[in-house]
Structure 1
Amino acid sequence: MGRNVMRRRHASLSGPSARQSQPRQQPLDITSIGHVLDDQSLAETTALLTDEKQVQHAYELLQSTSLFIYFVIERHRIFVRRHTGKSPPWTKDGVLRNFRFTNDFRVLDRGCQFGLTDVIHKGPSDFRSRVFRVLAFSLFVSQKTYSFLESRFGSPLLEENFDLDKWNEALDDYVADGNKVTTGAYQISAPTVDQVGDPIYHHRLIRLLALLLQSKVSEQIEDCRELCDLHSVLARFPSLTRFLGYQVALNLNMIPGLGLAEDWVIIGPGAQRGLQTIFGNGLPPRLHIVALKWLCENIRPLSVKAGYPEHDIPTLAPGYPALTPVDVEHILCEFHKYAKLVDHARYPCRGSQMPKHRNFPRLDSWPMVTARQPENKLPCHVAREQQNQQYTTPHPDDDGEYWPQHVLEEKGIGSGSHLLRVRWVGYPPNADTWESAQLLTQSSPDVVRAFRQRIDQLEALRLSLISKKAGDPA
């Protein structure tokens, strides 16, 4: 009987009514890019990649490089056409017309534009208040969830009104009404139950926010002078390690007064596959960052070589270099999806995540796109020049010793090789070294003690949060 029921149920799912409920997708028209698919102008262009040991590695670019350059230029053309009020369709490319891809410039994406207009610049302008609002938005990356919280607790959201139990109750109601608290955009994984307690997913996200606030993270962020240091601060907190913490760091970097040079990057899995589509599957992980920065520096000459006019090369404003490493990482992930849709047989990239198919509204109902920029933010190369002025690269003292400034992180705890990553006085992040924890404790006890105090304080706050029950003081 059970098998018969299951068979009938399966048959009903595959019947006419089920087929009719599926969204109808028109065949993708890629005839407009046939010339790009056949373009050999960039194939076998040699990229010289220099590793950390100053050894050069030569890679011949694959034919798909022409498709990458086309994607970069055409995607930004679409944005410009929309921003200047032109009517759709904004491209003849059937893939770009029927699927959603993020913008070339991360700051132009809807989430970042909302973050600038409705989060950073809506409310008190002091640094701490802005950090609170950006963190509250970044944990969900959902405009709808953030707006709901404002409707429940007042607009703008204020740290002094934050109450863990009340926010939990509000989101319980929100979820009970059938809403999702997060989106798929670099969704922040909630800390585990072991890390912060509470079995409910969105409660743990709120507990993460509480932990960030209790640790006075805004003070630590304000002291950061490099994007990688901002990421190191966040990476101490559960679930904000590596790529997800990097995305939150980029959101925070839009706050006026921070604006750190965005030439430091963490490559996500989609961008890694995008690099392999251009450089080949033989590109080792240790050269991923080098290859990405090579692309960033060479998008302009590659575009010119492929026959595109200078005015088509994407830029945010006159005088700004075309794209930063942050933007190129952003693009590579989207390009990987695009290449699969254009010709999966030719570009058999790994990975299954694909862009969403567009459901087009009436032509007169398309929302206008905005292009707000972070206030007082300098072009990446100018910000880098200014940040480099703090590095005096002093000579060692009379004993041949350099002075440790602070410890950033540790690894190998409990093993025979417990190491601490050290920033040296007057030196940039690329001069950081891993030093023996035992030896550094002997030579610079105050530096190690300051690091250990930060870690111990955070651990005490985390354990206190685990033991907290509903109704207990935060």
Structure 2
Amino acid sequence: MIYIKHQLNSLVNNDVDSFKYLKSLDTSPVYETYWKFACKRQDIYFNRLSKKDLPWTEDPVLKIHKFTNAYRAADRVSQYLIKNVIYRDDLPNSAEEIFFRIMLFKLFNKIETWQLLEKKLGAITYKNYSFKIYDAIFQKAMESKTRIYSAAYIMPSGSSSFGFSKKHQNHLQLLEMMMNDNLAGKLARITKMKQAFELMRSYPTLGDFLAYQFITDINYSELTDFSEMEFVIPGPGAKDGLKKCFKSNNVNEQELIRFMANHQEQEFNRLGLHFQSLWGRPLQLIDCQNLFCEVDKYSRIVHPEIVGISGRTRIKQKYSCTRDLELPWFPPKWNINEKIHRTSIMVNSN
């Protein structure tokens, strides 16, 4: 609470105008926990990468419960999307084909579902797409009690928009609508992330949260080239975390997230924290948004007296390490993969 007002005095004039309302804000103890959590979660990530022995953290909550990485693109599903869906030398890489692969993967957001399609179809391409064939594969999977959707977030059924009884059928119809509209080509011509978000948001069943998530995923590819510091939309979990960090009820949530991203270095220094960035890449707006969601969950145990919007008091998912952490690979336009390669050589040589 303390520090935000001091920070504002040192901002350039246009920043002061943008964040003028922050002068009246008051923070709770969860605000400092936000920064501490980011450091601890990132320490776990690097401890895993460097093959350190357990425990990777001394934090009792992080030892037991599952939390996403501090950086969204470092999470398992995002890494799979980047490495195994988007950047494929063995598949056609036109804008149309890349967009088709990304949206097909993200509508289900489940690695096993993509692998099921590859097992049944071989190369996954829009050129060979068939509603009837895809529908049959998903129907058979569900009959055998296989889950084809991730539990990470809830996808609307889409029945009121497309008229099918099964959710996957409506989502295939949504994908067909996007392909028929040449959405890939339209997005490729857009220069602002907010405009791309608004175009995605115009499609049936896609609200603010999903549209923002999908644009972020598309932006991992070469189809678009938006800065992740350009635009942000808070999801329901992030709104809970924001409510817990900031006591004020009159809050511009997007600007608060931007405030966190813009002042991360100062806050880590103020609190005497060592934050390991993503090979020099600072936390972006999408990452700060995600961290609010994770801190909401974390504070249910660490700060049970501070209640958010949802009123939830438990963390459902327990942490279970089932595999070694592979060396990450990020969109080449971020220019950090060579740094990762050099780091891995140094680690292996030791």
Normalising by the smaller structure, the TM-score range is 0.7 to 0.9
CA drift at 1:253? 0.4
Deviations 1:387-446 (A, max 9, x none): xxxxxxxxxxxxxxxxxxxxxxxxxxxxxxxxxxxxxxxxxxxxxxxxxxxxxxxxxxxx
Identical counterparts, % of pairs:
21
TM-superposed CA distance for 1:277, in Å, is 1.5
* C-alpha displacement of 1:160: 0.9
Q: How does 1:280-299 map to 2 (within 5 A)?
A: 280=247, 282-285=248-251, 287-299=252-264
1:328 to partner: Cα distance:
0.2
RMSD: 2.2
8 Å CA contact 1:61, 1:278 repeated in 2: yes
Instruction: Provide the residue aligned with 2:110 in structure 1.
Output: 142
Partner of residue 120, structure 1: 86
- Residues 115, 134 of structure 1: 8 Å contact kept: yes
User: Does the Cα contact within 8 Å between 1:140 and 1:183 map onto a contact in 2?
Assistant: yes
User: Relative to 1, partners in 2 of residues 1:199 and 1:360: Cα closer, same or farther, differing over 3 Å?
Assistant: closer
2:347 matched residue in structure 1: none
Q: 1:257 to 1:218 in 2, by over 3 A?
A: closer
**2:303 is matched with which residue?**
343
Q: Which has the higher contact order (CA 8 A, sep 6+)?
A: 2
Deviation at 1:343, TM superposition (A): 3.3
Aligned-pair distance for 1:354?
A: 5.4
What is the rounded CA distance, in whole Å, between the counterparts of 1:143 and 1:235 in structure 2? 24
Residues 337 and 67 of structure 1: CA distance in aligned 2, closer, same or farther (over 3 Å) = same
Mapped to 1, the partners of 2:227 and 2:313 lie a distance apart of 30
Deviation of 1:64 after TM superposition, in Å, equals 2.4
Q: Is 1:105–1:327's contact at 8 Å kept on the other side of the alignment?
A: yes
Determine if contact 1:51/1:290 at 8 Å carries over to the other structure: no
User: Larger Rg: 1 or 2?
Assistant: 1
Give the letter aligned to residue 112 of structure 2. K
Query: In structure 2, what is the Cα distance between the partners aligned to 1:359 and 1:328?
Result: 22
TM-score by length of 1: 0.64
Q: CA deviation at 1:268?
A: 1.0
- Which of 283, 286, 292 matches 1:332? 292
Unaligned runs of 5+ in 1: 1-42, 380-474
Judge conservation of contact 2:113–2:149 (CA < 8 Å) in 1. yes
**Residue of structure 2 in register with 1:371 after alignment:** 328
Residue 190 of structure 2 is matched in structure 1 by 224
Aligned AA for 2:2?
E
What is the DSSP-based 3-state SS (H/G/I as helix, E as strand, rest coil) of the residue aligned with 2:24? Answer: strand
Distance 1:96 1:162, change over 3 A: same
Cα deviation for residue 244 of structure 1 reads 0.7
Q: Distance in 2 between matches of 1:181 and 1:270?
A: 23
Q: How many residues align?
A: 324
**Contact 1:259–1:377 (CA<8 Å) still a contact in 2?**
no
Pair 1:277 & 2:227 matched: no
**Residue pair 2:163, 2:170 contacting (<8 A) in 1 also:** yes
Structure (1/2) with the larger strand percentage: 1
Residue aligned with 2:43, SS: helix
Q: CA deviation at 1:367?
A: 2.3
Give the drift of 1:374: 0.5
Higher-helix-fraction structure: 2
1:82 is matched with 48
Counterpart contact for 2:103–2:214, Cα < 8 Å = yes
Partner of residue 283, structure 2: 323
SS at match of 1:273: helix
Deviation of the 1:46 alpha carbon: 3.2
The partner residue of 2:317 within 350, 357, 365 is 357
Separation of aligned partners in 1, 2:66 and 2:22: 38
Residue 326 of structure 1, CA deviation: 1.2
- Write the distance in 1 (CA, Å) between the matches of 2:242 and 2:19: 21
SS of 1:294's equivalent in the other structure is helix
Structure 2 counterparts to residues 9-408 of structure 1, below 5 A: 44-47=2-5, 48=8, 57-122=23-88, 123-155=91-123, 157-191=124-158, 193-263=159-229, 264-280=231-247, 282-285=248-251, 287-308=252-273, 312-318=274-280, 320=281, 322-345=282-305, 347-351=306-310, 352=312, 355-358=315-318, 360=320, 366-377=323-334
Residue identity in the other structure for 2:308: C
Rounded to whole Å, the distance in 1 between the matches of 2:141 and 2:16 is 51
The 1-side partners of 2:320 and 2:164 are apart by 41
Kindly indicate whether the alpha-carbon contact (under 8 Å) linking 1:113 and 1:370 is maintained by their aligned counterparts in 2: no
Give the SS at the match of 1:45: helix
- 1:333–1:144 Cα change, 3 Å: same
Instruction: Give me the TM-score of the superposition, normalised by structure 2.
Output: 0.86
What displacement does 1:185 show?
1.8
Offset of residue 153 of structure 1 = 1.6
Aligned amino acid, residue 283 of structure 2: L
